[in-house]
Chain A
Amino acid sequence: MSDQGATLHVVRNSDGWTVTGEIDAHSAPALATAFGDLPDVTQLVADFAGVTFMDSSGLRVLLDAAMKAAAAGKTFAIAHPQPAIRRVVEISGLTEHLHFLD
């Protein structure tokens, strides 16, 4: 039972992160930890092609990352989101704060 719950993998690369799995209250802390160390580039990209689910916990992590990036003079974008991920951002009214790269 110890490994039950949403599975999330985050790999850091040269311009950001590649994220796969599901983001909910169980897995969001791991994403927040991964986003805590910003790569040394001005345009940060989180590749979400492999993210199949995200709830409000994940949105909060993304908002925090975007704000942290802005405070450091960087941009933060979500690349290749699946429709379910794009939708949760849109229905939350956060499209002005979270930017997509297709």
Chain B
Amino acid sequence: MTLGDGLIGGGRVSLMNGTSTNDDTVDVIVPLSPRHASTLRTMAATLGADTGFSIDEIDDFKLAITEAFSMLVSGYSAQRARVSFTGLASAVDVRMSLETGDAISIEPDELALAIMKAVVDSYQIGRNAISLRKVAVEAFTPGAGTS
């Protein structure tokens, strides 16, 4: 995996193996194995910080990414996942699908769903992907509260 230079939210990013998607999207392809959840958490923490997430929001974002990835692993452990992080003005959208783009069928347990509902602003388990959005609401604003 090779990431291009630049920061999400600050302009152009999104190079993975030399392939550009759109300007604020970072694509990662990982084997659908539980051990690679930590790789995605590291990426989520970095992109969340770049977007202006607070520490708590970054923790929530990492949790959401891990739960979503675990859902996909539980049904498709022999395949690879494409995870797309798209930076918005003060949010990050994530789309998690099979690398092949094939349809998915997931039956998440109640505990995982309860966590997802609590830590992201929206999520959807669709026909081809799990999508979620995390919005920065506690973000630190430089200079705020100072005179």
Chain A: residues with CB nearer than 8 A to chain B? 4-6, 22, 24-26, 53, 55-57, 59-60, 83-84, 87-88, 91-93
Selected from B41, B109, B115, the residue in CB contact (under 8 A) with A88 is: B115
- Known: A60-B111, A91-B115. Contact between A6 and B70, CB under 8 A? no
B73 interface residue (CB < 8 Å to A) = yes
Q: Which residues of B contact A (CB under 8 A)?
A: 33-39, 41, 56, 59-60, 62-63, 66-67, 70, 73, 109, 111-112, 114-115, 118-119
List the A side residues contacting B112 at CB < 8 Å: 56
CB closest chain-A residue, reference B108 = A56
A53 to B67, CA, bound (A): 12
Please report the number of residue pairs spanning A and B whose Cβ atoms sit closer than 8 angstroms. Answer: 68
A91 interface neighbour in B33, B34, B119, Cβ under 8 Å: B119
**Chain B binding surface SS class:** helix
Q: For B66, list chain A residues within 8 Å (CB).
A: 24-25, 53, 55
Instruction: Tell me whether B70 and A56 are in contact (CB under 8 A).
Output: yes
Given contacts A4-B39, A25-B34, A84-B59, 4 further A-B contacts (CB under 8 A): A5-B35, A53-B66, A56-B111, A88-B115
